[in-house]
Structure 1
Amino acid sequence: MPTYQEWTDAQETASVVVDGHDLDVAYRDEGSGDPVVFLHGIPTNSYLWRDVIPPIEAERRVVVPDMLGYGNSAMQDGFDRSLRAQERMIDGLLAQLGVGTVSLVGHDLGGGVFLRYAAHNPDAVEQLVLSNAVAYDSWPIQRITDLGLPETARETTPEELGALLDDLFRETLYEDGASEEFLEGMTEPWNSETGVTSLVRNASATNTNHTTEVDPTAITAETLLLWGANDEFQAIEWAERLYEDIDGSELMGVDEASHWVMADRPEAYRDRLTEFLC
C-alpha cells in the first residue's frame, strides 16, 4: 500500500467556488468506468481509503478528495467547513470532473455529507455506502466539541495536537499495534500552526442541524450501511435507524471493528464494498 507521501504525490488539485470563496481541493482520480467518490471524516483525510480502493479502481473510476480544511485541500482561515459547505464542494468538484450520475462512499462526516447529497439529488446517486456516519442528532461527540473551542487553536502547539491525535487513534482502533503508516497519514496534515487552526475550525463547524434537516426517506439510491459494530462514537444503533428509514437498504455490521472500520478490518470491509460496487 502507498505511503502517505506517495499518496499525496498522486493527488491533483481543482479550484472550487464555495460561498464566494475560491478554494483548492486536493483529490485522486484513478481508474475508468462508472464513477465512485469516497469521502472521509474528522480528523482524517483521503489516505483513510488507501487499503480499500485498489480492487474498485480496477473496475470503476475512483475519485477521492480531501474535504475542505483537511489533508492537502485549502486550510487557510476564513471559510465554512460545515457539511453544507462540503456538499457544495462535492457539487463543484463533480461538475469540474464531468461527473453526472455517481456512487458515493462516506465515513463519519463524509457520510453525513453524502447523506445530504443523496437526499437532495436522488436522481444523481445510484449507490450509497455509509460507514459509521453522522446522522440525525448522533453528533458532534464531546471530544470534537472540546476540540472546536477557539482557545484550542490559540493554545495548542502542533506537537501537542499530534500527540493528542496519535493517542486518539491508538485508543480507539479495535486492536493494539496500529499501523505506523496509518498513524502518520492521519496526523501529518495537522503538523503546523495552520493545520492546528484548521482542525479546530473543522471541529467548530460541526452542526447537528445539517443532518437533522435531512429526510433519509428521500434517498432512492441502492444503499449499504457498512458499519463497525464496536463503534463508541457512532454506534450501530444509528445505522439501524437509517436502515428503517432508507427503503431497500442493507445493513452489515463488521465485528471486531470500531469507528475506523476500514483500518480495523480492511479485508472484510474491502471485500463487501467491492462486492456491492462491482
Structure 2
Amino acid sequence: MSRSAVDPVDHETWSAAQEETEVRVDGHDLTVAYRDAGPEDGKPLVFLHGIPTWSYLWRRVAPAFEDERRVVVPDMLGYGNSQGGDGFDRSIRAQEHMLQALVEDLELGVVDLVAHDIGGGVALRYTAHHPDRVEDLVCSNAVCYDSWPVEFVNGLGLPETAAMEPDELEPKLDFAFGDGLVTDDPDPAFVAGMKAPWMREDGPLNLSRAAVATNTNHTTEIPYEHIDSRVLCLWGEDDVMQPLAWGERLADDLDGTVETVSPAYHWVVEDQPDAYVDALASFLV
C-alpha cells in the first residue's frame, strides 16, 4: 500500500513534543530527549539521525508511521535536545550504548531500525551485537566500514569550532543544510530547524565534540557477519559524502537489497520524502 510523507511541524513544536529519560553510558548518567508516538502496543520502529542533524531530520518521515507503529525518534547524546557539554563520549560506540539503554528503559524489546549517516553506524553496531533484537534494518546513506569521516565533518572537530560564537558557525551550517540538498530553494524551516541546536550558546562546543568523536575504527571493527536482520540500503543515489557504492557493498555482505532514491543527495529524507516513505513502508513488515 502506498504511503506518503507528512506535512512537517516546525522545530519548536517538534521539541515541545519530546520526552526525556536518563541513561547510563560509560559510568555517566546522561539525559536523552526523544519522541515517542503511536500505539504503545505497536511494533517499535526506531529512527536514528546522523551528524550534524538531530531527530528533526525525520520530521516528514517518522510521523507517517505513527498510525500503526510505536515510533521512537531519539536525539543522540550531545545532539538536539539531549544532554550537551563536556565530560562524555559522543562516538557511535557510546551512542550504541545509549540506544541499548533507551530500548531497555522504554521496554521496546525487538525493534526495527531506520538509520541515516552515523546513525547507520550505530544501528549496524547494535544489530551486530544484538542480532536477536532487530528484525528489519534500514540504512540510508550510512557510514560503514571505512567510508568516513568526511572532510567537512573533520574540519568541524577542530578547537577553533568549539571557540566560535554561534553566529560565526552559522554560514557553515547554512552550507551544510542548504547546499546539501538537490533543490536550489530549500525549505527555510528545514534549514532553520537543523541549525537550531547548534545556534545555542553551547552549540559550537557540542558540534565540535560530536565531530571529533567520528572514529572510523568503530565501524571497521563491527562483526558484520553476525547481522541476521532483513536489510534494506535505501540510498540517495547522488550522494558524494556516502556514495552508493558503500550501500551496495553493505547490502551484498548482509544479503540485503538496495533501493535508490533520485534525485537525492545526502539529505535523502528531505530531498525525496514521499519516495522515501513509500519505499520504507513497502519494506517494513
TM-score (norm 2): 0.95
Structure 1 counterpart SS, 2:202:
helix
**Equivalent residue in structure 2 for 1:89, among 84, 98, 107:** 98
1:63 correspondence with 2:64: no
1:125 aligns with 134
1:14 correspondence with 2:21: yes
1:165 aligns with 173
Compute the displacement of 1:215 (Å): 2.5
2-structure distance, mates of 1:264, 1:164: 20
1:76 correspondence with 2:81: no
4+ long deviations beyond 4 Å: none
2-structure distance, mates of 1:198, 1:89: 17
Alignment-mate amino acid for residue 139 of structure 1? W
Compute the displacement of 1:55 (Å): 2.6
1:181 aligns with 189
Structure 2 counterpart SS, 1:123:
coil
1-structure distance, mates of 2:152, 2:258: 27
1:54 aligns with 63
1:255 correspondence with 2:262: yes
Deviations 1:77-126 (A, max 9, x none): 11000000000000111111011111000000101100111111111100
Give the number of equivalent residue pairs: 276
Alignment-mate amino acid for residue 270 of structure 1? V
Counting only pairs closer than 5 Å after superposition, residues 168-247 of structure 1 correspond to structure 2 as 168-247=176-255
Structure 2 counterpart SS, 1:122:
coil
Deviations 1:35-85 (A, max 9, x none): 010010000000000101223111110000000000000011110000000
Deviations 1:185-230 (A, max 9, x none): 1001011231110000000000000000013222111111000000
Q: Is the 8 A contact 1:56 1:277 kept in 2?
A: no
Deviations 1:20-40 (A, max 9, x none): 111100001001211010010
Q: Is the 8 A contact 2:161 2:169 kept in 1?
A: no
1:265 aligns with 272
Q: Is the 8 A contact 2:116 2:141 kept in 1?
A: yes
Compute the displacement of 1:151 (Å): 2.6
1-structure distance, mates of 2:176, 2:107: 38
Q: Is the 8 A contact 1:112 1:133 kept in 2?
A: yes
Alignment-mate amino acid for residue 277 of structure 2? R
Structure 1 counterpart SS, 2:183:
coil
Alignment-mate amino acid for residue 65 of structure 1? P
Q: Is the 8 A contact 1:148 1:201 kept in 2?
A: yes
2-structure distance, mates of 1:205, 1:40: 15
**Equivalent residue in structure 2 for 1:137, among 129, 143, 146:** 146
TM-score (norm 1): 0.97
1:35 aligns with 44
Compute the displacement of 1:163 (Å): 1.9
State which drifts further: 183-192 or 201-210: 183-192
Q: Is the 8 A contact 1:55 1:274 kept in 2?
A: no
Say which structure is richer in helix: 1
Structure 1 counterpart SS, 2:259:
strand
Q: Is the 8 A contact 2:63 2:71 kept in 1?
A: no
1-structure distance, mates of 2:61, 2:12: 18
Q: Is the 8 A contact 1:16 1:89 kept in 2?
A: yes
